[in-house]
């Protein structure tokens, strides 16, 4: 039986090698923030002829006002267009060009999201992540013990940094849907971690005489490994279908989910439990 705990230093090195380039990229070029965070315009139009969405995207991209994924179809002939913050002249140019190229459009709304609102959304997104992490730390500390709570938060931090790092390296756009993906990944990852911790607690109650802690934890990981793998595979099948068959507008969201769930499965098995073992061993040495 392969010993996950015995080789934990290898897992730590792999995690560092994955996270480090992302941290460098975050420091040098940061994230490619969308208009949800930087501010911009939200234009909703109704096209009389109900053109294909690719035509609308072509017009917006041709003007240099936004990427194709920032155009969404709503209903049969309504379209939502997200752009950078436009001046009055640029906004008028966008509407007139859409009207000309698409054979007549009706402007339903043209809302401007200022940078102040974007910063407020960024602060609230960060606050949501912090509150979620604190609540999970308190819950795991109450349900299990504080050291397991700390190990779980380290695992969540690992997953967040992996996703942020890859998005920074590839300069993929980060919007409010990305925040939703991160929160979903956190929930998914912590669920897998709790399953393993629960099995560890059960095995501790029935611990054999002379059984080492790392051996017990390794057995617990193996006892839950099939469930973890099956859950990841079934979830990935759905996400891959959404990524390749779904619309352009959800690709970034789904990609964040794919990266996060793979990272979450890895950290739950290879990082969180080994970190807890190291914390227990460190505590034992201090008491000795």
**Tell me: the pLDDT tens digits for 164-212?**
999 999 988 888 888 889 988 988 889 889 999 999 999 998 888 878 8
Classify residue 105 by its DSSP letter.
Answer: E
Identify the residue whose tokens are 């139009």.
45
- DSSP lists the bridge partners of residue 73 as 79
Residues with Cβ within 8 Å of 47's Cβ and at least 6 positions away in sequence, in order, are 56, 77, 78, 79, 98, 102, 103, 104, 105
**Where in the chain do CATH 3.30.70.3400 domains reside?**
40-113
CA neighbor of 188 nearest in space, from 94, 95, 74, 265: 265
Which CATH class name applies to 8-34+117-287?
A: mainly alpha
pTM score, two decimals?
A: 0.82
- State what percent of residues in the chain have pLDDT above 70: 95
CATH number for 40-113 (one of 3.40.50.720, 3.30.43.10, 3.30.70.3400, 3.30.505.10): it is 3.30.70.3400
Write down the pLDDT at residue 279.
92
């Amino acid at each position: 039986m392969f010993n996950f705990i015995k080789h934990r230093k290898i897992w730590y090195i792999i995690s560092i090698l994955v996270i480090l380039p992302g941290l460098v990229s975050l420091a040098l070029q940061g994230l490619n923030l969308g208009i949800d965070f930087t501010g911009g315009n939200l234009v909703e139009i109704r096209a009389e002829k109900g053109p294909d969405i690719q035509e609308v995207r072509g017009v917006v991209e041709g003007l240099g006002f936004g990427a194709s994924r920032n155009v969404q179809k709503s209903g049969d002939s309504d379209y939502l267009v997200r752009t950078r913050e436009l001046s009055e002249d640029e906004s008028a140019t966008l509407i007139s060009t859409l009207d000309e190229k698409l054979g007549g459009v009706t402007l339903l709304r043209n809302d401007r999201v200022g940078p102040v609102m974007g910063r407020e959304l960024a602060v609230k997104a960060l606050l949501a992540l912090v509150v979620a992490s604190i609540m999970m730390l308190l819950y795991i500390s109450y349900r299990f013990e504080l050291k397991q709570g700390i190990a779980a938060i380290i695992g969540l931090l690992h997953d967040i940094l992996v996703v942020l790092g890859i998005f920074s390296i590839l300069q993929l756009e980060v919007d409010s849907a990305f925040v939703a993906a991160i929160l979903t990944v956190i929930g998914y990852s912590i669920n897998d971690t709790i399953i393993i911790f629960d099995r560890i607690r059960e095995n501790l109650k029935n611990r054999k005489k002379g059984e080492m802690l790392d051996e017990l934890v390794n057995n617990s990981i193996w006892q839950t490994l099939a469930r973890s793998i099956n859950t990841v595979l079934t979830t990935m099948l759905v996400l891959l279908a959404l990524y390749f068959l779904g619309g352009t507008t959800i690709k970034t969201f789904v990609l964040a989910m794919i990266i996060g769930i793979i990272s979450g499965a890895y950290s739950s098995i290879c990082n969180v439990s080994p970190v807890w073992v190291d914390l227990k061993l460190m505590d034992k040495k201090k008491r000795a």
